[in-house]
Amino acid sequence: MKRFKYNRVALLSCVLVAALSLSAGADKMYELNNYVLIRAGSPAADIDVESYSVPSLADINGDGLLDLVVGEATNDSKGKVRFYRNIGTNDAPVYGGFVFAQTASGDLWVTRYSCLGIFPRMVDWDLDGDLDLLAGIGDGTVKIFLNVGSTTNPLFDAGTLLTADSTTLNVGIRATPSLVDWNNDGLRDLLVGEGDGYVNIFINSGTDSAPVYHAGQLVQAAGVTLDVGSRSSPDYADLDGDGLKDLLIGDGNGQLSLYRNIGTSSAPAFSTGSYVQVKGVSISLGQRSRPFVCDYNRDGRLDILVGEGVGKVYLFTSMSPFVLGGKRLVEVQNDDGGWDWPLDDGDPLTGSDSSSLGSVGLGLAYAYCRTGDPDMRTALQTAGQLLLQKTNDFYANEGTFAAALDSIFETTDYSTHVRTAFYDRLAAGTYYDTRTDTPNMTTAMYIQSKLDMYISQPNGAAWDLGLSLVDVAAVGADTTLWADAVKTAIEQMALGEKIDDDYINDYDVLGLAGALYGLAAAGIEFDPQVGPFTAADNLRDLGDILASWQLLSGGFTFNSAAREENVGNEFLQETAYAARALFAVDRDRFWTNIHNADAFIASNQMNTGGWENTAFFYSGEDNAVTGDALVALQTTGSKNGDLDYNGMVDLRDLAILSQNWGRTGCGFCDNADINGDHAVDLIDLLLMSENWMTK
């Protein structure tokens, strides 16, 4: 199936958000940012339990938000469990004060043995719909405290010791349990760390609600017993993206070790462990690291909460997709400043694919705006020089890339070049188009050449022309003919259909997304009078139609009639442009759709840092699709007014707006041009005020 590769553009607003450039361990798991300490209370302060913090996440009060659960060892030799209620969102948690887990007689507690107070994990043990408390005890035993209260107000019983082969389950000292389907038989088994540094697995031969555990077996790694030295604290997840559960294990020295599963889902086998690193240095929290793997900020990437001996709670988030994607584009850039398509040919001296410069470069620009990475800035300078050398081989996406470069380097040189060398010459009928070998081409002729290019896939023309319209507006050229062409293309679209086993009228999703994005970004309203969308009265109605084509995964597919769920038929390119279109039309109205598309894109980033369009019809990393993904993630990253992308519209955003007040023709004015009209004015201030102090 042929994929489009022209005119991948979007509006760029460059705000430099500082980010640490970090790397993973020798066995690359994923790249981690440096830690932050989790805070709670009002005013917020670092969480600091009396000692031996053991964090995890669970919805304790049934409100749909993940709360913070922290086990602790108290100074009076007890192990207790704190619940910190999440009063923020799942994307950006904010924790209030804490309460202790309760029984009928008061605070739930166990006797502290040695350094371990209690190691809690919230699970629905008896499958009755509420959360029970699985607890590792310092004496090596494991207890289950059943919730005899409710989903919204948990109350726990006195607790029952677990058994294995009809005797009390005991790993010797400092039990650190988690539930896992170890052998892929559909039953929850019990994974337990211990004070001596080994990891035990207890296989369940009963049921999930009434488990029957057998004697524990020591987990092996590279043919020998897995041993982290002391105080093993295991958690599991697919940490390397191969679909198999790996182990992440804390130890008595405060380090984290990754053990990759090199076996199968039903018969795990693990490699030699490697320390997880940040900036090339192994993580070391001093003593007694207790990891919990989760997607803390709902960005589709795994993060790590870690407790330790002093009582703090650390968070290591996975490095942003912008860092990984941007680094990948720097890595595969050719010496001339451009990129190969679909992927690097291995020779940086070969000529680059001319049509991909704008789409790939724009993605890199967005990555730079979110990271401030100096290597990305250098790569953009090189790509900008290549753009300035163009005279007769422009592609429409390069106008928006030029506006992005203007914003980054505080100039107007790039937009001026594209406007004068391309659009002004089209308007004057003096442009020579190398793509069609046509001299004296006019704007109307160029638009017609686009229609001719998509003669066998007419829906694609709506997409291409829509993105061209964004580009024309970005460099300040006349949008009249382009806007008329986009409107006509929408009215001439044909909705996707399935006839027998074949789909016809492909790319209606992409066509509507591109056209809608072009009109909305250029600020041009439209009421279709003919064609398949006559029921729509305006762009928001067209947005409703596009949003209705979204799959449950958050992705979009190539044909609106091909929306079968759970078959893996999502396309990255369709998803990226649909998200941008909905964002441009009304980001608040379509916020859920945008967020879900954003999460789908982030969760499908490849281990290389790039993206492929789909694993269903077409497989393989694609530089242009990587650019599409990065632009979509940035464009969908915040609501009106959140100029620094910190999740809140606040005084920092107002400061950015103030610094750019009154500017015009400045690219997109450091994100302060909220409505995309190329001026920072009262309209932008009003848009910001609508979301003031909201997340």
pLDDT tens digits, residue range 180-207?
999 999 999 999 999 999 999 999 999 9
Helices (H) and strands (E) in the chain, counts: 16, 35
Cβ atoms of 243 and 266 closer than 8 Å: no
Question: For residue 446, which of 457, 460, 456, 435 has the smallest C-alpha distance?
Answer: 435
Distances (CA, A) of 181 to 120, 207, 209, 247, 265: 19, 12, 14, 13, 9
Q: In this predicted structure, what is the pLDDT of residue 9?
A: 29
Q: In this predicted structure, what is the pLDDT of residue 6?
A: 26
Cβ atoms of 414 and 402 closer than 8 Å: yes
Q: In this predicted structure, what is the pLDDT of residue 220?
A: 97
Indicate the fold that domain 323-634 takes in CATH: Glycosyltransferase (1.50.10)
Cβ atoms of 141 and 149 closer than 8 Å: no
Q: In this predicted structure, what is the pLDDT of residue 646?
A: 54
CA–CA distance, 602 with 507 (Å, rounded to integer): 23
Cβ atoms of 83 and 67 closer than 8 Å: yes
Could you tell me the end-to-end alpha-carbon distance of the chain, in angstroms, rounded to an integer? Answer: 41
Three-state DSSP state, 413:
helix
Helical segments of 332-373, H only: 357-371
Q: In this predicted structure, what is the pLDDT of residue 133?
A: 99
Q: In this predicted structure, what is the pLDDT of residue 10?
A: 32
Q: Which two tokens stand for residue 48?
A: 């600091």
Q: DSSP label at 209?
A: S
- Cα atoms in the Cβ-side hemisphere of radius 13 Å centred on 642: 17
Helical segments of 243-392, H only: 321-331, 357-371, 374-388
Using CB atoms within 10 A of its CB, is residue 139 exposed (0-12), middle (13-18) or buried (19+)? middle
Q: In this predicted structure, what is the pLDDT of residue 30?
A: 58
Consecutive H or E run containing 160: strand 160-161
Q: In this predicted structure, what is the pLDDT of residue 161?
A: 98
The percent of the chain in helix, strand and coil, each rounded to the nearest 5, is: 30, 20, 50
Strand order in the sheet with 233-237: 233-237, 246-250, 256-259, 274-275
Backbone angles phi, psi at 594, to 5 degrees: -65, -45
Question: For residue 580, which of 628, 526, 536, 548 has the smallest C-alpha distance?
Answer: 628
Question: For residue 625, which of 339, 249, 370 has the smallest C-alpha distance?
Answer: 339
> pLDDT under 50 in the chain at which residues?
1-29, 666-668
Cα diameter, the chain: 90
Place of tokens 């409710």: 150
Query: Which residues of the chain form CATH 2.115.10.20?
Result: 35-318
Query: Which residues of the chain form CATH 1.50.10.10?
Result: 323-634
Helices 459-474, 398-409: axis angle to 10 degrees equals 30
Work out the angle at residue 486's Cα, subtended by the Cα atoms of residues 483 and 488, and round it to the nearest 5 degrees.
Answer: 110
CA–CA distance, 7 with 482 (Å, rounded to integer): 14
Which own/partner pairs from 672-676 qualify as long-range (CB within 8 Å, at least 24 positions apart)? 672/13, 672/643, 673/13, 674/640, 674/641, 674/643, 675/523, 676/11, 676/473, 676/521, 676/522, 676/523, 676/584
- Cα atoms in the Cβ-side hemisphere of radius 13 Å centred on 477: 29
Q: Which two tokens stand for residue 496?
A: 């996707």
Place of tokens 């994607």: 325
The CATH class given to the 35-318 domain equals mainly beta
DSSP labels, 178-227? EEE-TTSSSS-EEEEE-TTS-EEEE-B-S-SSS--BPPPEE-EETTEE--
